[in-house]
Amino acid sequence: MSETGHIEFDPLSTGSARRRITSKAIVYGLLGVFAAFYLMPIVIILANTLRPLDDIVRTGFIAWPTDISLSYWGEAWGTFCIGGQCEGVSRYFKNSLAMAIPATVISTALGLINGYVLSKWRFRGADLMFGLITLGVFLPPQMTLLPWAYILGSIGLSNTISGLVLVHVVQGVSFTTLFCRNYFINIPDDLIKAARIDGAGFWRIFRRIVLPLSPPIVIVAVIWQFTGIWNEFLFGTIFTSGDKQPITAAIVAFSGSGTGERHYNVEAAAVIMAALPPLFIYLVGGKYFVRGLTSGAVK
Amino acid sequence: MSSLEIRDLRKRFGSVEVLKDINLSAESGEFVALVGPSGCGKSTLLAMIAGLESVSSGEIRIDDRVVNDAAPKDRDIAMVFQSYALYPTMTVRENMSFGMESRKVPKAEQKTTIARVAEMLQIEPLLNRKPSQLSGGQRQRVAMGRALVRDPKLFLFDEPLSNLDAKLRIEMRGEIKRLHRDVGKTTVYVTHDQVEAMTLASRIAVMFGGVLQQYDTPKNIYDDPVNRFVAGFMGSPTMNFLDATVERGGLVLEGGDGTVLPLPPERLAGLTPGQRVIWGVRPEHFSPAAEGRVERRGGVSVPVEAHVEMTEPTGAETILMTRIAGQKALISVEPDDAPDAGQTAALAVDMAKTCLFDPTTDTRL
Amino acid sequence: MTTDAKTPRLRRWLGDNIGPLVLMPTLVASFAYVVLFSAWTLWLSVSTSTLLPDPTYGGWGEYAALWQSKRWTVAYQNLFVFGTLYVLGSLIVGTLLAILIDQRVRFEAVWRTIFLYPLAISFIVTGTVWRWIFHPQTGVELALHDMGWIAAEFDWITDRDLALYVVVITGIWHASGFAMALILAGLRSVDGDIVKAAQIDGASVPRTYWRVILPTIWPIFLAVAVVLLQFAIKTYDLVVALTQGGPGVATTVPAIVVFDLMFERGQIAQGAAAAVMILVALGCVLIPYALYTRWRTRREESRHV
């Protein structure tokens, strides 16, 4: 019995059959209620991407769809008017992609190298450096807005996607370094020592020993970074404007304005599109998502 | 005082049958040890008695009451775990009072009970400490204290001494025996250590593969094992098993020179000449031939020659790793009588104490 | 001779210090990011900048002005209320969900996926969606009216006194999955024998959780609370999408004031001061926690039995 862990032993399964059944019923019942609460918003919005506008205006969002049409998705993508331009959200979606993918790749790559150095190459001040880099994780973005605005302006990157990439890379390196270093520290030092005795140098060890062991943490870092960067709003809305904005900023632009006719169904489709990429990654790689949570968040 | 009765108990996990047809009963005040190797089902059986595992089929009765469906707290039992399982955020006193609080025992009674038990176990100075501030032996005592406070019908122990070092284990073993003598409750004690079972139990249940192999007093289990597993499991160093054939009124060892080791007539009765058997003889059943120890006790000894390959002096005895008729055998002798490696020892065996097993079924003949 | 002796030394120096060298670019960037940017903003907060940065020293007057402005004090109060309810609510809901899942339920992966997916969704999307649901003209109130309950009212989001609670509810919806994931991991780390002992001791399942299991994992609650507090202090996106700070200043939070001052009102110095105040708030949460965890690990190491 000492071999079985907490997961095995089920306190609710002791006692009479009646007690077992009622307690399990309560548990599943409560879970179901909560699940409904969590799923409800997405279900409602999804339903509303299919309904004609008059229906929505008449009965609000929370109603059964009657006339269903998929046309609003096409509108949202290609013809929807945002801030004076009527090209749909496709442009902003592509902006977000152009921003998130490079930033994720670069910050993860840098994080890998940094994590490798900080965990395997002892030198004076290594811990201090690590501490400093990690502080970047906790720094509130408000402290960096004005400096960034100035810098991006000076090097001519204001209102460009590249500018956003730069900002996200610098901020992201803190995260990825933290994850990777904590992960690599579990690689036995003896492996590295043996390789050094064999004559391998810094990059050789990285390529042949560390990198092959890194896929799990790479996945975690990529998922975490992509999700965070794609979903980010503050930098997006400050450092770009107009048709250079990422999709999060675009959504606020069209849904915030109260003037004119609100095309709720198209807006709903646009909102779903904005949520899809990270959601998709989450559904596919959820296990790694959680791993990133439990390892990175609780320092 | 109570009794425990287990009838035709079976336990299945999915399609795997983990306990098969267990029948066991314990009289009031008995100390029953459940022994066996890992995976034999003893821990599962204990969990079922406690109510922590459900019953697939069969009956468990405590004090003549069927408790199959009763929750653990309604079975009037107490349990001591291998990992002590003390509540880490509570003091020793709170650990002991937790159960009473759950059962709404009046505060005054809680106080006196805790004082009594603490005195019995000598843990009074520890009452205000937390488990993390206690040593292994102290934690074990507190765990027992928590069980004693309940005044249950049945005490259950799940390998409580496995986490202690050897010396502490022997000390705590003595304490458990003393406690049982003083408190006198029916106890079921799970262990994989057969020495613990032999020293503590009034009856031992040997288990293997989910089946109860033998349930008897320690002496009977040791002297009269019902099959080869029980014979080999109990006793340290283990019993020797040598291949032999029944011939001309005795045993002829395989690989030997044909010398016959005569068997007492009552033994020969159930055997047929030419039958192959396994001869089970414990290391301590051998004695130096010259000593005549067996004769002094009124028995008849049989001479055996053993070729000594290595000796292991342990201080109290010397274990000889020998070959008898080419088969390996362990022999235990007094250090002064020990021959050197390479020599041939002339030994005497009391055949009446040895056992015979069927090679295919492993049962005792 | 001398040139030969130099080159191997240079190469050796390079080899020995390749670590710091490789780190240098990122290190400089991180250093700049953390230290320089903070110092820069700090400097701006005591400068006389208005619409554009002006390096002239102006004293700490902007801080005084900030704390005297109604907008800021209300924002800070809102943060206080929101933060407390958000953290407590997420912890409670998260714990409840974790306990439910811990009961060895089937389809655990499905439940976990459902409760955690809000974390994958941007605050903007969350805020927009919930705004539609909360708004009386499009959401719950309208649905209730349609169902026949004409007199029903659910206009919290437009109510000055109640709008903040809308933000709280949405925040809890978003973050309780996170709390659940961490607390569930904690529940799983508890020694199973302790639970069995509590069962035998006669504790009911709720009592076992309340008196035995949850106290054992209290450091996890602390860690989760700290992380959630950070989220709360940095909250910006959610409020922008949900209520845009309104009605009036009912849901304005410090981060919104910062943005406002910096980029809409041309009061950079005061905005910088507000940003510094946010940093201070974060520091008040993180520094004691960091010190505390360090003290605790040191104490546990010395007391290793």
CA distance A16 to chain B (A): 4
Query: At A59, is the pLDDT very low, low, confident or very high (cuts 50, 70, 90)?
Result: confident
State yes or no: pLDDT of A237 exceeds 60: yes
Q: Which chain A residue is nearest to residue C141, measuring alpha carbons?
A: A60
> Is residue A25 located within the same domain as residue A95?
no
Nearest Cβ partner of A9 from B52, B70, B162? B52
Which CATH number fits the domain that encloses residue B316? 2.40.50.140
pLDDT tens digits, residue range A173-199?
A: 888 988 888 888 888 888 888 888 888
**Residue B149 domain-assigned?**
yes
> Is residue A134 located within the same domain as residue A206?
yes
> Is residue B275 located within the same domain as residue B219?
no
Task: Answer whether B69 sits within 8 Å of A13, measured CB to CB.
Answer: no
Nearest Cβ partner of C133 from A44, A145, A271? A44
Quote the CA–CA distance of A257 and A34 in Å, as a whole number: 33
> Is residue B256 located within the same domain as residue B333?
yes
Contacts of B72 in chain C (CB under 8 A): 196, 199-200
**Last residue of some domain: A19, A44, A78?**
A78
> Is residue B264 located within the same domain as residue B193?
no
Q: Which chain B residue is nearest to residue C213, measuring alpha carbons?
A: B87
Nearest Cβ partner of B102 from C193, C207, C215? C207
State yes or no: pLDDT of A298 exceeds 50: no
Nearest Cβ partner of B54 from A1, A2, A13? A13
B355-357 β-sheet, strand order: B260-262, B250-253, B240-247, B276-281, B355-357
Quote the CA–CA distance of B158 and B189 in Å, as a whole number: 6
Q: Which chain C residue is nearest to residue A31, measuring alpha carbons?
A: C100
Q: Which residue, B339, B290, B333, B26, is CA-closest to B156?
A: B26
Q: C22-46 burial by CB neighbour count: b if 16+ within 10 A, else e?
A: bbeebbebbbebbeebbebbbbbbb
**Residue A287 domain-assigned?**
yes
3 state DSSP class of B208: strand
> Is residue B269 located within the same domain as residue B200?
no
Quote the CA–CA distance of C282 and C276 in Å, as a whole number: 10
**Residue B295 domain-assigned?**
yes
**Last residue of some domain: A51, A78, A105?**
A78
pLDDT tens digits, residue range C39-81?
A: 888 888 888 777 777 777 777 888 888 888 888 889 988 999 9
**Residue A83 domain-assigned?**
no
Domains in chain B, number:
2
**Residue A2 domain-assigned?**
no
The answer to whether C29 contacts chain B (CB < 8 Å) is: no
**Residue B233 domain-assigned?**
no
Q: Which of B53, B159, B161 is best to mutate for the A interface (most A CBs within 10 A)?
A: B53
- CA B55 vs CA A22, A104, C170: distances in Å: 19, 54, 46
**Residue B364 domain-assigned?**
no
> Is residue A37 located within the same domain as residue A169?
no
Do the beta carbons of residue B253 and residue B277 sit within 8 Å? no
> In terms of DSSP bridges, do strands B240-247 and B276-281 run parallel, antiparallel, or are they unpaired?
antiparallel
Query: At A264, is the pLDDT very low, low, confident or very high (cuts 50, 70, 90)?
Result: confident
Give the CATH number of domain C70-302.
1.10.3720.10
pLDDT cut 70: percent of chain A above it: 88
Task: Answer whether A1 sits within 8 Å of B52, measured CB to CB.
Answer: yes
> Is residue A144 located within the same domain as residue A221?
yes
B31-35 β-sheet, strand order: B77-80, B154-158, B186-191, B31-35, B203-208, B211-216
Do the beta carbons of residue B131 and residue B86 sit within 8 Å? yes
**Residue B198 domain-assigned?**
yes
State yes or no: pLDDT of A3 exceeds 90: no
Nearest Cβ partner of B83 from C191, C200, C305? C191
How many angstroms from the chain centroid is the CA of residue B37? 10
The answer to whether C101 contacts chain A (CB < 8 Å) is: yes
Interface of C with A in 61-80 (CB under 8 A): none
> Is residue A20 located within the same domain as residue A40?
yes
Highest mean pLDDT among A202-211, B313-322, C295-304: B313-322
**Residue A85 domain-assigned?**
no
Q: Which of A146, A168, A257 is best to mutate for the C interface (most C CBs within 10 A)?
A: A146
The answer to whether B54 contacts chain A (CB < 8 Å) is: yes
**Residue A206 domain-assigned?**
yes
Helices (H) and strands (E) in chain B, counts: 10, 20
User: Crossing angle for the helix pair C123-134 and A264-292, nearest 10 degrees?
Assistant: 130
Token pair of A139 as six digits: 């720094």
Query: At A249, is the pLDDT very low, low, confident or very high (cuts 50, 70, 90)?
Result: confident
Q: Which chain C residue is nearest to residue B70, measuring alpha carbons?
A: C200
Task: Answer whether B98 sits within 8 Å of C211, measured CB to CB.
Answer: yes
**Last residue of some domain: B192, B224, B256?**
B224
> Is residue A51 located within the same domain as residue A105?
no
Contacts of A171 in chain C (CB under 8 A): 33
Contacts of B159 in chain A (CB under 8 A): 2
Domains in chain A, number:
2
pLDDT value at residue A256: 62
> Is residue A282 located within the same domain as residue A146?
yes
Contacts of B83 in chain C (CB under 8 A): 191, 193
The answer to whether B68 contacts chain A (CB < 8 Å) is: no
Query: At A164, is the pLDDT very low, low, confident or very high (cuts 50, 70, 90)?
Result: very high
> Is residue A64 located within the same domain as residue A98?
no
pLDDT value at residue C43: 85
Query: At A19, is the pLDDT very low, low, confident or very high (cuts 50, 70, 90)?
Result: confident
pLDDT value at residue A5: 36
**Residue A84 domain-assigned?**
no
pLDDT value at residue B231: 92
> Is residue B136 located within the same domain as residue B190?
yes
Task: Answer whether A15 sits within 8 Å of B159, measured CB to CB.
Answer: no
Nearest Cβ partner of C103 from A12, A255, A297? A12
Quote the CA–CA distance of C275 and C41 in Å, as a whole number: 8
B241 has which bridge partners? Answer: B280
CA distance A6 to chain B (A): 12
Which CATH number fits the domain that encloses residue A195? 1.10.3720.10
> Is residue A67 located within the same domain as residue A117?
no
Q: Which chain A residue is nearest to residue B55, measuring alpha carbons?
A: A14
Task: Answer whether B51 sits within 8 Å of A15, measured CB to CB.
Answer: yes
> Is residue A66 located within the same domain as residue A167?
no
State yes or no: pLDDT of C16 exceeds 70: no
Task: Answer whether C279 sits within 8 Å of A298, measured CB to CB.
Answer: no
Token pair of B150 as six digits: 């309940």
**Residue B363 domain-assigned?**
no
3 state DSSP class of C253: coil
Which CATH number fits the domain that encloses residue B129? 3.40.50.300
**Residue pairs between chains B and C whose CB atoms are closer than 8 Å:** 71
pTM for the complete prediction? 0.81
**Residue pairs between chains A and C whose CB atoms are closer than 8 Å:** 291
User: Crossing angle for the helix pair A90-120 and A161-184, nearest 10 degrees?
Assistant: 30
Interface of B with A in 71-90 (CB under 8 A): 71-72, 74, 81-83
Token pair of B272 as six digits: 């047929």
**Residue pairs between chains A and B whose CB atoms are closer than 8 Å:** 33
- CA B43 vs CA B33, B40, B81: distances in Å: 11, 8, 11
Q: By residue range, what is the domain housing residue A54?
A: 11-78
**Residue B232 domain-assigned?**
no
Task: Answer whether C103 sits within 8 Å of A27, measured CB to CB.
Answer: yes
> Is residue B216 located within the same domain as residue B257?
no
Contacts of A167 in chain C (CB under 8 A): none
3 state DSSP class of C29: helix
Q: What is the DSSP letter of C47?
A: B
Contacts of C191 in chain A (CB under 8 A): 6
Q: Where are the domains of chain C?
A: 70-302
pLDDT value at residue C3: 47
> Is residue B263 located within the same domain as residue B321?
yes
> Is residue B203 located within the same domain as residue B324?
no
Q: Which chain A residue is nearest to residue C172, measuring alpha carbons?
A: A38
> Is residue A121 located within the same domain as residue A269?
yes
Neighbours of chain B (3+ CB pairs under 8 A): A, C
Query: At A295, is the pLDDT very low, low, confident or very high (cuts 50, 70, 90)?
Result: low
Do the beta carbons of residue A174 and residue A135 sit within 8 Å? yes
> Is residue A62 located within the same domain as residue A96?
no
**Residue A254 domain-assigned?**
yes
Q: What is the pLDDT along chain B (365 residues), one digit of tens a residue?
A: 458 999 999 998 888 889 999 999 998 889 999 999 988 889 999 999 998 888 899 999 988 888 888 888 888 899 999 888 899 889 999 999 998 888 888 999 999 999 999 988 888 999 999 998 898 888 988 999 999 898 888 999 999 888 888 888 898 899 899 889 988 889 999 998 888 999 999 999 999 999 999 999 999 999 999 999 999 999 888 899 999 888 888 888 888 788 888 888 887 887 888 888 999 999 988 888 877 777 777 777 888 888 889 989 888 888 989 888 888 899 988 888 888 888 888 888 888 888 889 888 888 88
Q: By residue range, what is the domain housing residue B298?
A: 240-357
Contacts of A9 in chain B (CB under 8 A): 52
CA distance C162 to chain B (A): 40
pLDDT value at residue B339: 84
3 state DSSP class of B211: strand
**Residue B157 domain-assigned?**
yes
CA distance B273 to chain A (A): 48
Task: Answer whether A1 sits within 8 Å of B47, measured CB to CB.
Answer: yes
Query: At C91, is the pLDDT very low, low, confident or very high (cuts 50, 70, 90)?
Result: very high
